[in-house]
Amino acid sequence: MKPAASTLVCAGCGWAAPPPEELRYPFRCPRAGRGDTDHVVTRKLNSLRVELARGDDPNPFIRYRELLHSWHLARRRGLSDAAYVALVRELDVAVARVDGRAFRTTPFGRQNALSDRLGFGPTGGVWVKDETGNVSGSHKARHLMGILLYLQVVERGERPGLAIASCGNAALAAAVLARAANRPLQVFVPLDADAVVLDRLGTLGAQIESCPRQPGSKLHSRTLWN
Ligand SMILES: [Zn+2]
């Protein structure tokens, strides 16, 4: 059997995740906490086996789908390319219905007013990548969309609940995606979470759990899928 074009590997210690038939949710390295290394499970591409079609679809999850682990997994499991594209498209339409924004390439260009203020001539200038129009207002939804596509492929119609620990943007992003995918979501927030964020999370149907921060701990976004 040919080696997989895409695998999940821990960037910290090299642990290779078994296929989903053996381990359905390989998002956490089993050696996490061991040694002075950050155990982060990442997608590793076999560059000899990846070919990019490079279409011009405005949705980057469709345009660059050959780079996604979920696309390789879907193809190995017998899903056609067209069926995968339809899955992304359907989710994207649902995201736009919930948030008013879909996943699109964000604009990048020369900002003339800013360039003039800073004294640049016509051959120079300041170029800005504008990320403010992202789904849920930050880049966080893009990270979670990759995981959600994996779940949609692996779970095939089941819709188990999701959970996230976050004090802001990641929680909002998760709430939009969970709503779009019609899945329940628990959000674990610190006691001093922003009232505006909590209000929006409630509107999106997330179940909010307030947790005291443990002394000495830093809070990062952590995504858990039960
Ligand atoms: Zn590891």
Q: What is the 27 CA–ligand 1 centroid distance (Å)?
A: 11
**Which residues have their alpha-adjacent CB atom under 5 A from ion ligand 1?**
10, 12-13, 15, 29, 31, 39
| CA-based end-to-end distance of the chain | 31
Provide the β-strand partners of residue 208: 187
What are the tens digits of pLDDT across the range 119-151?
A: 999 999 999 999 889 999 999 999 999 999 999
Stated pTM of the model? 0.87
The mean-pLDDT minimum among 40-54, 61-75, 174-188 falls in 40-54
Residues 6+ apart with CB under 8 A from 224: 27, 162, 163, 164, 165
pLDDT at 90: 97
Question: Is the pLDDT score of 57 beyond 70?
Answer: yes
CA 193 to chain centre: 22
Q: What is the 13 CA–ligand 1 centroid distance (Å)?
A: 4
Asked if residues 221 and 27 have their Cβ atoms less than 8 Å apart, the reply is no
Tokens describing residue 158: 């089941």
Q: What is the 216 CA–ligand 1 centroid distance (Å)?
A: 23
Q: What is the 8 CA–ligand 1 centroid distance (Å)?
A: 11
Question: Is the pLDDT score of 8 beyond 60?
Answer: yes
